A and B are shown apart, each in its own frame.
Chain A
Amino acid sequence: MSFDSDAHARARRKALRVAVGALCTEVGFGIVEDSALETLTEMLQSVLTEIGRASRSYAELSGRTEVMVTDVVMAVVDQGINVNSIPAHAKRVNKSVFIPPGQSTPHPVMKTLEADERMPHPPHIPDYLPPFPDPHTYIRTETYKQPMNEYQVIREKAASQRRDVERALTRFIAKTGKTQSLFKDDASAFPLIAMQPHPQPYLGALFPKDQDLDPQQDSSSSLADSDPKQSNSNLDNNQGPTLDLSQSPLDMSDPDAIDNPYLRPVKMPRFKRKY
């Protein structure tokens, strides 16, 4: 849009220049310097703009939106121009008439992204509303080729990615820490991370870290009591174990209410008299 307004402004400016030039000729100048012409044009434009602005102000001051002649007259007067001289000026003899500038034709839009016929308005939308945008702006076209078996690829990728991470991690640890070797003469081949004894070996064993479930899913699993196998297994005698592995213990109502000797407070020693 800025492009448009620029073009209009340039066209008006051009017209003003022509007008100023004509006035100068009328007055008797033969040659005008560019800067002088420009200054005069600027002055004219300022005057005209000011008149326009002031007349609009007058109109609005009067509670109107449309500018009336009187508003313009007031504005002109404000500029200190004698209104009455205008008709005389308009009817002067040596008035030069010049042809209005030709209409510029708008550039046709390059239809490089033409994708489809532009949709006409549906019947319930009045015509005056803007038309639909170009089809290419809303029609989706695939820009790549559909793979043959997506699942396989994803699994493949996930597997190799994980494997790479694991391998890199273990190699890193193996390089930075103590290792054991399967080969006496070649310590670098297939290094094994050395076993480090731990004072409480059971902790690592009982809290495995190999679980890639996030805790959210984990908690939901304890609720999923209704295993599908439960329903079908009872029908047939020849079924295997159906242990209900997921039992959530009852919520303890109130630990104080439970009478268990291990929860009772420790008693004070009986008072012993000392002499």
Chain B
Amino acid sequence: MRKDGKFVTQRPYRLAHQILCITAFNFHRRSLIGYVELALHPLCPDLRRLKVNSKQCRIYRVSINDIWEAAFLYNDPTLEICQGDDKKRNLDYYESSHQAAMNAVDSDYGNGEVTIRMPPEAFPIIAELRPIRVCIEFSLEQPKSGIQFVVPSMEGSLVERGAHLFTYGHENSSRLWFPCVDTYSEPCTWKLEFTVDIDMTAVSCGDLIEVIYTPDKRQKTFHYFMSIPTAAPNIALALGPFEILVDPYMHEVTHFCLPHLMPILKHTTGFLHEVFEFYEEVMSSRYPYSCYKQVFVDESYDEVMSYATISILSTNLLHSARIIDQTITSRRLMASAVAQQFFGCYISMQSWYDAWLSKGIAAYLTSLYMKKALGNNEYRHHVAATLKEVYEYESRVGGIVLDPSVRESTHPFSIKHPHTISPGYHEIYKKKAFLVIRMLEIRIGPPIVILQVLNKLLALANTASQQKFMSNSWSNMLLSTDSFLKIISTVIGKDIQPFLDQWVTQSGFAQFHGNFVFNRKRNVVELEIKQDATAKGSLKYVGPLTVTIQELDGSFNHTFKIEENKTKFEITCHSKCRRHKKKKIPLVTGEEVDMDLGAMDADSPVLWLRVDSEMHLLRHVTWEQPDYMWQYQLKYERDVVAQSQAIVALQSLPTPATRKTLTDILENEHCFYHVRLEACVCLTKVANAMESQWAGPPAMMTIFRKMFGSHSCPSIIRQNNFNNFQHYHLLKTIPVAMAQLRNVHNICPPEVVRFILDLFKYNDNSRNKYSDNYYRAVLVDALAATVTPAVTTVTLAGQNLNSEMSSDTKLILEEITRCLNLEKLLPSYRYVVSISCLKAIRILQKFGHLPSNSDIFKSYAQYGVFRDIRVSALEVLVDFIKADVNAMELNWLLDLVDTDPDQYIRYRALALLIANPPFTRTTTDSPLNTEHLVHRLWKMMNTGFSNDSRLRCAIADLYFILYGRVRPSALAIPQNVMVLNLKEKKTLLNPTVIPEVLGDMFEEEPVEVIVPKSEPEDLEMGDMVERPSESEDINPLKRKVESPLPFPAVQVVSATEPNIIAEHAADDSNPAFKFRIKVKSEDEGVSTPTRADGLGLPPVESVSMSRLSEDSDEDSSPTGESSSFTLPKTPAVRTDTLTSFSGVLTTTMASNSVVVEQSFTTPTTAEADGSNSKHKNKKKKKKNKHKHKHKHKHEKQEKDRSKSDKSERMRDHRDSSSQFSPGTTASPVELSQESTPSSPEFEII
């Protein structure tokens, strides 16, 4: 794909134009039928086969130029990732196969699921490189993914029911609903035609040219034309009985919603013209397309999906004028959809390695709009929050590499392909991309500069889009890291390569840990700033770092150069230490304030210090300073980020002064509302820590009454009036914060419970112009937060728990049931109150006030309930599964993941399981941890979710959380296999097998196998990718022959093996004692020959091809296995470098257990570290070798875990070291292909 920094596509053709025509939709059968026509320009005269992407579709016919029929083959290795192997269950193996499978259908590698063989009649045209037209007729029936048919099951016609459909997908997934070249790097113009029922509207990309009745006038055809080159993944369709709203401000913008929703559609989209105006103004560039459409659909895949000129949004984003909270969210999402029209759709990424640019820029533009709409404070707060979120993910899970072209993954999944990454990673990836673009904005000068760069990009793309095909300028429609680099250097003359090296191609965060002391004699502040480069997700930062010091005489910035091993810095103070009497203190904003300096050290002029106050870096700072400094910082620093930071620090410093400061902030109307909310939460913690010395009413009670109590009677809350949004947010936060107060008995003070119950009672929204639904939901939350574990309700079976409930709990329960029941009759917006009630009921159950029962939640989680409720019910159920260790519910949940019609719910259910797993790899004795579960999850990710990468990767995530990279412990150990736990020096065997004494596999030194940090690649696939194009002539012929008869092909495998082996043997057959010295040279030595093999040996390719073709037939998937059974046993053959480890043998390699084939015939000893003198010479030799092998592995791991080729080798070597060939007498099921790569003397005979 990318070589030497240049993007190279291996498609032997270029796409000029594509027609997508769908002639019929059937909602009842959930099917559609149509054809596509691709206008191709061959790039090589001997083009004989071409590959396009298509999944799920049934292809009827392929014709070239309408005249010649072409033969085609369908072959999709992603349908089953680990083929024909039902024993191996470790994730590393899965993920390497996964990436290989994905690459094997990746159009950028010249691959695809459908291979079309050019008919001989077309050869002359191709030889002249004249364009050809490939027409593919296809149909789609009951698609599992890619297109969502929403057909409510009720009476009435389709229109009355609001039946509709829309397409969706994770990154490039258009192949799920029509055959195409499914990559961002191949834009072309489009003609789209959809024939639909007379009362339906089809909304798609591009300009609607005309709508024409069919001759029978019962249907009509929508003709769309997309004149701007667009990549297939950016094509979408929505079809339904939509209500149409033309934007009153911009007539080229059209909004669509389901029937009955028009009033709220009008309100929700009323602001959208401002977004367009804003983007056009800041980038001084016109909106690139001629139209824009927003379609609000039910059961959407995600909140917002943006495609060329069309965005498909969740209908749940619509809201009326009375709703406050949703407004901000909805507007943010709609603004982001428009931003993605500029970057993402119009200018799309060239490859996955460049995705950070389009995603980051779109998010950056969105944040600029939100900054304009909500103010600078909100923006800074958002940046700080995103920074924190990304830091937390990276330090918990691992680093995120924005451009993974040169780096290997440190994750259990491959980050090199959008369809293999974890969905959680994807989320954070987008956020990090935004942060990096923002950093870049700061790096290259004033904010206007980056906007000029964006303007330049758009200008180039505009010119390109006007060009005719084949002028090669369409590449300007694509954004890659290189082209971006070039543009920046032309616009501002700066080279940002160092910046990219630091933040884009490298993962992690800078982590600073610092403190300081004031040296009175020298009038100098001595700083110590350390970096923690060993922590997970961290990076060693070298470069400038700004430290801001607030002294009595003002605020000053100091920039230090952070270098390696330098930790001490000094700041000379401007102020003389004796403070002037009653002088005002200038702040960074220029204003001067009076401060009470009584709290601080009389000799020191330092008020507070901040590191990287402007958030110029991706960093996490742990900063130490005395509590009074934090208090000054909170009170007087004008930056909201600094205030938040001070609040976090003050949480652990509960003193009366802290309490006073927090109270002041809470009451300060000039303070940013987020800071005030944070102060609330912090005050709760401070109050709880100070419980013994707390006097007076519970914290915040007085403040609340002052702010919200009615004039004549402060204990009764005023009628709601939410015109002041700051107060609205405080009103929502204070009750929850108060509910978390605990007295000396660690229960919530009774007056707080009464206070909250009174809020319920006196809530009166009759004169409010806004809805109070969120407030009421928060009250339920608050009530739930007051609940503490039940004292001891020892209930015998059948005893009525109700009678033992405390009166407070009864009141609480009554309130909750009333709210929940009322919601059925008078629902609140998005059922927010119901959601809070469900969570509250779970809390009551959890604390023993109610019997634990999941039936209620299951009824709320079923299909047909509003999505938000379902999600929260699922969240509760996941918690239930974990707490009650309930296997039945877990199965129920997995069934839901398997079968639910709503894709989003399926994904959310998994995401919730990942966030709150029922057990983890460290808990070994969970009854949920069964073999059945392992197989089920494995099946789901291996074959079940082959059409939805998001689900598939989420399952892989869950698998990792539950089992880690090792073979799941719940699995029975196969008979001929032994699991060695090298760390604990234990061996595990299948209990049915009598453990025989093992050989001296371990001796003097404790051996430890380190988890590979890098993702091994499947070489087989790699080879195929690097296949020279000439060999293509051979393949189709082979394929034709091989597909029905896999055996010859496999025999080819075995035939080829010796060649490779020979080379390897030559490599490895050095005497064992030299092995350690050889390590380095072998690293290169091994990897190069392998590649050479791949290039030089056509049979190897045919192997891979044959394997793929076998897989294309789902039913015949076991053939791979069976074929391998038929292989002649060739002991001592070393094949590991090329094979995909299929077969019965389980090879699990991981941190602490290694599977080794047991040789029954070998007398072995189980002494792990005892040195055995009685061993024979032969064994000694082997022992030595073994030892060195491990050593060698150690060194390798330490040395270079980042280089891709090597890491690949590394795995193989680890395998080789941990698996011992069984020798000739091993059980007959063993496969030579599988077996281990050891030199002949390595064997135990």
Contact = CB atoms under 8 A, between A and B. Distances in A.
> Do A and B come together as binding partners?
yes
Interface class of chain A by DSSP: loop
Interface string B271-309: 100000000000000000001000000100000000000
Interface string B1184-1226: 0000000000000000000000000000000000000000000
B212 A266 contact: yes
B726 A240 contact: yes
Interface in A224-275: 224, 227-229, 236-243, 245-252, 255, 258-264, 266-270, 272
Given A167-B818, A170-B818, A250-B248, A182 B830 contact: no
B769 A217 contact: yes
A197 B900 CA distance: 14
Interface string B240-284: 000010101101101000101100101100110000000000000
Contacts of B724: 228-229
Contacts of A207: 260, 264, 320
A125 interface: no
A182 B853 contact: yes
Contacts of B850: 182-183
B841 A182 contact: yes
Contacts of B761: 159-160, 163
B152 A238 contact: no
Contact of A202 (B315, B328, B331): B315
A203 B254 CA distance: 22
Contacts of B559: none
Interface stretch (A71-79, A116-124, A186-194): A186-194
Contact of A210 (B251, B321, B771): B771
A242 B817 contact: no
A195 B818 contact: no
Interface stretch (A44-52, A137-145, A148-156): A148-156
Contact of B244 (A212, A243, A262, A269): A262
A204 B830 CA distance: 8
A241 B370 CA distance: 10
Contact of A204 (B153, B859, B866): B866
Interface stretch (B9-17, B665-673, B1166-1174): B665-673
B859 A195 contact: yes
B723 A228 contact: yes
Contacts of A180: 855-856, 859
A25 interface: no
Interface stretch (B627-635, B708-716, B919-927): B708-716
Interface stretch (B97-105, B347-355, B373-381): B373-381
Contacts of A212: 765-766
Interface stretch (B739-747, B819-827, B1003-1011): B819-827
B499 interface: no
B671 A238 contact: yes
Contacts of B856: 180, 182, 192
A34 interface: no
A205 B260 CA distance: 13
A115 B258 CA distance: 72
Contacts of A264: 210-211
Interface string B34-60: 000000000000000000000000000
Nearest to B769: A221
B854 to A, nearest CB: 12
A250 B331 CA distance: 19
B480 to A, nearest CB: 34
Interface in B634-687: 638, 640, 670-675
B802 A183 contact: yes
Nearest to A179: B821
Contacts of A236: 670
A194 B773 contact: no
Contact of A185 (B640, B800, B862): B800
Nearest to B711: A151
A208 B829 contact: yes
Contacts of B1090: none
Q: Which of A167, A195, A239 has the most CB of B within 10 A?
A: A195
Contact of A206 (B319, B640, B674): B319
Contacts of B244: 262-263
Nearest to B316: A202
Q: Which of B251, B726, B761, B817 has the most CB of A within 10 A?
A: B817
Contacts of A193: 820-821, 824
A156 B315 CA distance: 40
Given A206-B261, A206-B316, A245-B324, A173 B824 contact: yes
Nearest to A234: B375
Contact of A239 (B249, B324, B726): B726
Contact of B214 (A204, A260, A269): A269
A101 interface: no
Contacts of B673: 239-241
B908 to A, nearest CB: 15
A128 B213 CA distance: 94
Given A237-B377, A268-B213, A261 B208 contact: yes
A259 B211 contact: no
B865 interface: yes
B196 to A, nearest CB: 11
B544 interface: no
Interface string A49-88: 0000000000000000000000000000000000000000
A238 B669 CA distance: 9
Contact of A186 (B716, B802, B824, B867): B802
B378 A241 contact: yes
A252 B209 CA distance: 24
Given A182-B841, A243-B374, A200 B298 contact: yes
Given A240-B729, A241-B328, A261 B215 contact: no
A197 B864 contact: yes
B668 to A, nearest CB: 8
B571 interface: no
A201 B670 contact: no
A199 interface: yes
Given A170-B818, A205-B831, A241-B375, A250 B254 contact: no
A208 B828 contact: yes
B771 A229 contact: no
A186 B850 CA distance: 12
Nearest to B291: A261
Nearest to A220: B769
A158 interface: yes
Contacts of B165: none
B610 interface: no
B851 A197 contact: no
A184 interface: yes
A27 to B, nearest CB: 90
A211 B771 contact: yes
A66 B896 CA distance: 109
A39 interface: no
Contacts of A221: 321-322, 769
A166 interface: yes
Given A149-B713, A268-B212, A259 B860 contact: no
Given A200-B298, A228-B723, A262-B208, A237 B376 contact: yes
A193 to B, nearest CB: 5
A48 B201 CA distance: 101
A151 B713 CA distance: 8
28 contacts: A149-B713, A155-B710, A190-B817, A193-B824, A195-B859, A199-B154, A199-B161, A204-B831, A205-B868, A206-B264, A206-B318, A207-B264, A208-B829, A218-B322, A228-B723, A228-B724, A238-B671, A241-B373, A241-B673, A246-B321, A247-B267, A258-B251, A259-B251, A263-B246, A266-B212, A267-B210, A267-B213, A268-B213
Closest 7 CB pairs of A and B: A197-B864, A199-B152, A240-B673, A221-B769, A170-B821, A261-B208, A201-B866
Given A149-B712, A149-B713, A208-B828, 15 more contacts: A166-B818, A170-B825, A190-B813, A195-B860, A202-B866, A206-B318, A208-B771, A208-B826, A211-B771, A221-B321, A240-B673, A258-B246, A260-B252, A266-B213, A269-B217
